Amino acid sequence: MDMNFDLNLLKNKNILITGASNGIGKSLSENLSKYGANVIMLSRNENALDAIYDSLKEKYKTDPCILKCDLENVDDKKSQEIANIISKNYQNLDSVIHNAAILEKMSDIESFDLQTWNKVMSVNLTSAFILSKYLIPLMKSSITPRIIFTTSSVGKKAKAFWGAYSVSKAGVNALSNILNDELESISNIKIFNFDPKATQTNMRALAYPAEDPSTIKNPDQLINYYLWMLSEKSSSSMERYIEFGQEI
């Protein structure tokens, strides 16, 4: 997809990104700031966020924010705390990008331990539910509010050894469909599921250790899809499930 976007496209838009300290999340933090967004970066790695924050302030003069949070343990209290911090620092919230996810292990179901299963579900699915619950009220005054869930092909068609990750992404697909159905007639919040396909990330390296990373795209090559979803350009689209490589 080759689209030209004005560098002021996201000026003064407040966008929360989970898993913002590395991989696709880090790329989004940098690239959305380039287009004027105030990125609210959520991750458990505060040191990494500090470095990104300093870089964004220096390069783009936007108003970023750091939220340290371990999504494995996020609950009602922490979600309300996050919503309160955003309300205190910004007039509203324009978009949420549920990007954070973990794979942990490739294993057959018989060998999959419950502790790892619960951890993957908490980070990949439960956190998206509880954060959406508390953040949606902050989005109601936005002109182009968006919630973008990051999905995967193994969420649509499960495969052997993908275990909890595959099930969590199927759950993310269901959650996004439920939210879309609930909000479509009462809100202008638009819901997208985005499958970035094969991308250079730590998770990809864990899943495909023999793969040469130079043969697949880097996270920066995803940006046009996110810019389209976050902009007015997507407002009239009926597409809800977007894949990298798709014409939109």
Annotated catalytic sites, by residue? 165
DSSP string, 18-83: ESTTSHHHHHHHHHHHHTT-EEEEEES-HHHHHHHHHHHHHHH----EEEE--TTS--HHHHHHHH
- Write out 186-240 in H/E/C secondary structure: CCCCEEEEEECCCECCHHHHHHCCCCCHHHCECHHHHHHHHHHHHCHHHCCCCCC
Residue (of 167, 153, 127) closest to 246 by Cα position: 153
Please, which residues have CB within 8 angstroms of residue 51's CB and are 6 or more apart in sequence? none
CB 42 within 8 A of CB 64: no
CB 139 within 8 A of CB 59: no
Name the token pair of 93. 């919230």
CB 165 within 8 A of CB 120: yes
